[in-house]
Amino acid sequence: MQKIYIVEDDDNIRKMVYYALSMGGFDALGFEDGEAFWEELKKEMPSLVLLDILLPGEDGISILKRLKQSDKTAKLPVIMLTAKGAEYDRIKGLDMGADDYITKPFSVMEALSRIKAVLRRCGAEPQKVTTLQVGDITLHEDKRTVRADENDVELTFKEFELLRCLMANEGIALSRDKLLEQVWGFDYNGESRTVDMHIKSLRQKLGDSGKLIKTVRNVGYKLGG
């Protein structure tokens, strides 16, 4: 049975989600703050974490950052719970590696649907190649490091995933929709603007090697070729 951790300080929401997950065949466990969550994480790793952004003490964004920076938990699927209208928090969470977000108020059916979709996507992920090389760009997937022109390149979680996707499909033109699907994993409002902004940032951080990322008119982008 897959275990889901719910980090949410609102008792009503936490209990509602816990009950829905239990009825949906999941083993659920709730926490009202980050401290209790970290203690339990030392004992057992869940299949997925539902993480509220506004928490007492350590907030959800800080918890997400710690999770993604640790080799042990970097690949742990995380769905953020965000307040309606908190677009900046959603974008920040997604860029730091969150797999999806759910906006409050939400229905339990929506939550279950998104949880199952993320678990399917993460569980079906094929075995990754350890190292990718295109031109002067080298990407190590297991270490999550990138070098370009013999320099280390610091990337956000989503920038890394976007570059990995482009490198894994060297010479192939990928549409913005395809990149959204592969990197973000769901339909995101703002679409082409989101991809374009990340491509711009990638090109800048890669320096001269950024020229390898080419714009394909009326399609999207490709790397090399």
Using 70 as the pLDDT threshold, list the residues of the chain that sit under it.
84-86, 124-129, 185-192
| pTM as predicted | 0.62
The tokens of 93 are what? 């969470």
The tokens of 171 are what? 């010479």
pLDDT of residue 189: 52
pLDDT of residue 124: 45
pLDDT digits (tens, 9 = 90+) for 93-121: 888 889 998 888 888 888 888 898 899 88
pLDDT of residue 87: 74
SS3 assignment, position 55: coil
pLDDT digits (tens, 9 = 90+) for 15-24: 989 888 887 8
CA geometry: angle 185, 136, 177, nearest 5 deg = 20
The DSSP element (H or E) to which 54 belongs, if any, is none
Amino acid at 34: G
pLDDT of residue 186: 52
